[in-house]
Chains A and B, each alone.
Chain A
Amino acid sequence: MVILSRNTVYSVLYLILSFFNAAIIFLMSNAEFLAMTLIIVYVGAVAVLFLFVVMMLNINVVQAKEGMLKYLPFGLVLISILLIELSLIFSDLPVFPESNTKIDISELLNNGNSNTKAIGLHLYTDYFIIFQISGFVLLVAMLGAIVLAYQKNENYIKQDVIRQLDSDRKKAIKLNDIKPNR
């Protein structure tokens, strides 16, 4: 539905719905921390920005329709590759194991700990360098965005809050002694 609906705002709303579904899949596999972070980060921040951009741009509906058939074969190829991969993965495993249908992530990661703690332990010990590098990648992306968007404008008047608060009556008003009739 994300790609099929004609209205772009509907598409974003369906995207949010699919984020929710992903979060619920996490919840069903007992990873409540991941589910909540997924909702906070993707639905609470990323999708809001998407929605902003989509609402601001008035995208022409007729133009959006035209590209549909052109990309259809490419999409079909991608879908078939994904389906084949998925079937390969699941062909080895029984699809519904009789004893335990849920994959208990917290037990897989660390026995006895809550999964929040387990994620923290793994992230800051085993995957510490990767974690730091991903942080740096985000920082670089952020700086790059700022550099790209920043334009120096001479006409831009900036407000200096400290200067504003600092001014008082003596500085703002100057009494000039004008001598009349001269």
Chain B
Amino acid sequence: MLFEILYIIFKIILIILPLMIFIAYLTYFERRVIGAIQLRKGPNVVGPFGLFQPLADGLKLLTKETVVPTNSNKLIFLFSPILTFTLALVAWAVIPIDYDIVLSNINVGILYVFAISSLGVYGIIMAGWSSNSRYAFLGALRSAAQMISYEVSIGLIIINILLTVGSLNLTEIVLAQKNLWFFIPHFPVFIIFFISTLAETNRAPFDLPEAEAELVAGYNVEYSSLAFGLFFLGEYGNMILMSSLTTILFLGGWYPPFDYDYLYIIPGFFWFFLKVCIILFLFLWIRATLPRYRYDQLMRLGWKVFLPISLLWIVITSSYLYFFEKF
């Protein structure tokens, strides 16, 4: 019994540690990529090629003083970054990085991920409300409205995948893509899913919650030091989570791009990592290229464009399955 618990804790650490390193280096990667796109150098001073920059940033954040505003609701103020960070980590319990390399292979894996990501709104709303500041509150409201709207289309797109696979288990979803990755038959919804994940993680061009020009920094204005660090880690963790979800749902998880035997020599988690990195690069590329959306345009895109298309796609998928595959 004790040994089992220790084994599970060991596995959890085995997931979380690489994830934290990945998050840290994602920030470095982001600054380097955006620097390259904008013809700058990016961080290159700390360590060789600036590789120790994330560590230096982390240390700086750790050693700063945590400022709690006097008028804030202290309990909720301190709880919300913890909640955001925890939720970003908890969802990794069901993500299969390779065949059978997953902490818990539950039946309703995709629903679990969806539930956790829909809880992510609370961290933001609570942070915005408890800091008792107008900027933070406005940022939180915007962010919450945005996340709820785009969750609808994400949910509908997930239904398409579930219909084609016939299972809610993430491992089975990947196994069903051995011969054909789902982004080929489901190409329109793949694009919509990707854009919705951008909105869901509050990234550019949908980073209205932290529009620097209007709202200073959005829901996390009042946060400093480690509390801000946790928000930051949570946001980047969510980015990685969403890209791995895209990989699992559309890009065939741990399968190599072609079904040749010699490609299977390279372990599955490497392919998984590669695909996640490609999607993350797309995230950064978009951030460096596109201007920010206006708020009404954002809402219009979510409700009037994405929602009808994904609903229509469900009708198409289910009729195809009904008439041609005889489900």
Contacts and interface: CB of A to CB of B under 8 A. Distances in A.
Same complex = yes
Interface of A: 9, 13, 16, 32-33, 36-37, 39-40, 43-45, 48, 51-52, 55, 114, 116, 159, 161
B25 interface: no
A40 B107 CA distance: 16
A45 B118 contact: yes
19 contacts: A13-B76, A13-B126, A33-B108, A36-B114, A39-B119, A40-B111, A40-B118, A40-B155, A43-B115, A43-B118, A44-B119, A44-B121, A44-B151, A45-B118, A48-B121, A48-B148, A51-B122, A52-B125, A116-B107
Interface in B108-144: 108, 111-112, 114-115, 118-119, 121-122, 125-126, 129, 137, 141, 144
A39 B148 contact: no
Contacts of A161: 300
A9 B140 CA distance: 15
A44 B296 CA distance: 23
A33 B111 contact: yes
Interface of B: 73, 76, 106-108, 111-112, 114-115, 118-119, 121-122, 125-126, 129, 137, 141, 144, 148, 151, 155, 168, 296, 300
B300 A44 contact: no
The A interface, classified by DSSP as helix, strand, loop or mixed, is helix
Contact of A116 (B76, B108, B115, B300): B108
Given A32-B106, A55-B129, A161-B300, A40 B115 contact: yes
A36 B111 contact: yes
Contacts of A51: 122, 125
B94 to A, nearest CB: 11
Contacts of B296: 159
Contacts of B114: 36, 40
A170 to B, nearest CB: 25
A37 B111 contact: yes
Nearest to B75: A10
B121 to A, nearest CB: 6
A37 B73 CA distance: 31
Contact of B119 (A32, A37, A43, A116): A43
B118 A44 contact: yes
Contacts of B155: 40
B148 A16 contact: no
A158 to B, nearest CB: 11
Contacts of B125: 48, 51-52, 55
